[in-house]
Amino acid sequence: MDFQTQRSESNKISVKLEGSLNRSTVPEIRKGLLKFARQGGIKVMAIDLSQVSNLDTAGIALMVEVLRVLSSNGGTLRLTGLNRNAVKMIRLSRLDSAFDIANSSGSGS
């Protein structure tokens, strides 16, 4: 699992994840992702999941942790590029209203 970050505006950070986001890979990136979320002044973190091939509940739990950190500082988490499977997993976890979900290929299903 790799991730790249880009601070496009002073209060916005974009993160692109690649590979599987599951219970095997979450421990590898958790610390780094939370570190970016804790940066001062972040109002929007946008995570691009279009290159994530496998999302399980551990991956969703990590998104919840990131959202917690951002929310505590008045920020929001936007998830983009979700495939159909990712949307289903988030819905099954009853968290579709917790995230700002955009550009999801499976959002209409």
Partner 1 sequence: MTNTEIIDICGLNSYYGDRQVLFDIEFGIPRNRITVIMGVSGCGKTTLLRHLIGLKSSRPKELMIEGEDMGGFRESRMNQYRSRIGVLFQSGALFNSMTVADNVSVPLRVHSKLHKETIRIIATIKLHQVGLSEFCDYMPSQLSGGMQKRAGLARALAMDPEILFVDEPSSGLDPITAAGLDNLILELKDTLGMTIIVVTHELESAFRIADQIVVLDKGRLLTAGSPEEIQTSQDERVVQFLERQADQKQENNEAYIKTLVGRQIPQVQD
Binding site for partner 1 (CB under 8 A): 23-24, 26-27, 30, 56-58, 60-62, 64-65, 88-89, 91-95
Q: State phi, psi for 60 to the nearest 5 degrees.
A: -65, -40
- Pairing relationship of beta strands 76-80 and 100-102 according to DSSP bridges: parallel
- Which residue, 44 or 95, is less far from partner 1 as judged by CB? 95
**Closer by beta carbon to partner 1, 62 or else 77:** 62
For 78, residues 6+ apart whose C-beta sits below 8 A from its C-beta are: 44, 45, 46, 47, 99, 100, 101, 102
Cβ proximity to partner 1, 9 vs 94, nearer residue:
94
Shortest CB 35 distance to partner 1, Å: 14
